[in-house]
Amino acid sequence: MINTNSNTSRQFIYGLLLGVILTLSTNSFRNWLKRKNGDGNKRELNTPQQPIDVISEDIVDGIEGLIGNTPLMRIKSLSDATGCEILGKAEFLNPGGSPKDRVALNMIKEAERKKLVKPNKGCTIFEGTSAKEKYQILEKLGATVEKVKPASIVDKNQFVNLAKRRAEEFGNNKLINEGGSNEATGFFTDQFENLSNYEAHYQGTGPELFRQTNGKIDAIVSGAGKDFFF
């Protein structure tokens, strides 16, 4: 006589054990697979990233790349009133808010080209200015500002003359204190006499205006040191 109840119970137990074994095996395999993939991801994360190849003319190199190439805008009120196309050159969009950014950059580049100053050598640039807002900005940027009393241009302590003397003294002191081998120099930009001043506009602003208008310019009205070129 066959005990069917006993066989059924035995089959049930075997099936239960087989299910548990398969479940444990499947979970172990799944965990092993996750660990393997995780290690692979870590290795990928630790792999040095290659530079992104960005191809765009809209990306400039450093803050100096923001100087120049300011837009032209049509002044609607004046253009409509006169029947002429009157455009404004938005020089206030230069980083320093003025076309003088062009001049300053060109003077420094020319000085570097002539080896009058060298980057990362402790060279110092000297210039005189009478504008309060300028020296306040310079102070905030960390520049050393020496305030002097107003004086005639023939006075040796007039701000321009003093800036030139301070540049000469800086270079001489460096040579004396450091045995004559120091490369740090004092450079007086001499903005009023420096040819790099007008060359910044002759080589930059002028061709820029010509390009932006396709050469269709009848007249230019400009104010020295102002924020627009018309």
What would the two tokens of residue 70 be?
A: 């300011």
- Which helix (H) or strand (E) is 187 found in, with range? strand 186-188
C-alpha to C-alpha distance for 146 and 13, rounded to whole angstroms:
96
CA distances from 196 to 102, 110, 199 (A): 10, 7, 5
Which residue in the block uniquely carries the two structure tokens 């032209």? 72
C-alpha to C-alpha distance for 194 and 23, rounded to whole angstroms:
85
Q: What is the pLDDT along the chain (230 residues), one digit of tens a residue?
A: 434 455 666 665 666 566 656 565 666 666 666 666 665 555 445 555 555 555 566 788 888 999 999 999 999 999 999 999 999 999 999 988 888 899 999 999 999 999 998 888 888 899 988 877 777 888 888 888 888 888 898 999 899 999 999 998 887 765 545 555 567 888 999 988 999 998 999 999 999 999 999 999 999 888 765 444 54
The domain locations on the chain are 1-49, 64-229
Q: Where are the beta strands (DSSP E) in 82-207?
A: 87-90, 124-126, 186-188
C-alpha to C-alpha distance for 37 and 31, rounded to whole angstroms:
10
Which pLDDT score is estimated for 139?
82
Which pLDDT score is estimated for 15?
61
List the beta bridge partners of residue 126.
188
- Which helix (H) or strand (E) is 36 found in, with range? helix 4-46
pTM of the model: 0.66
We find that the CATH architecture of domain 64-229 is 3-Layer(aba) Sandwich (3.40)
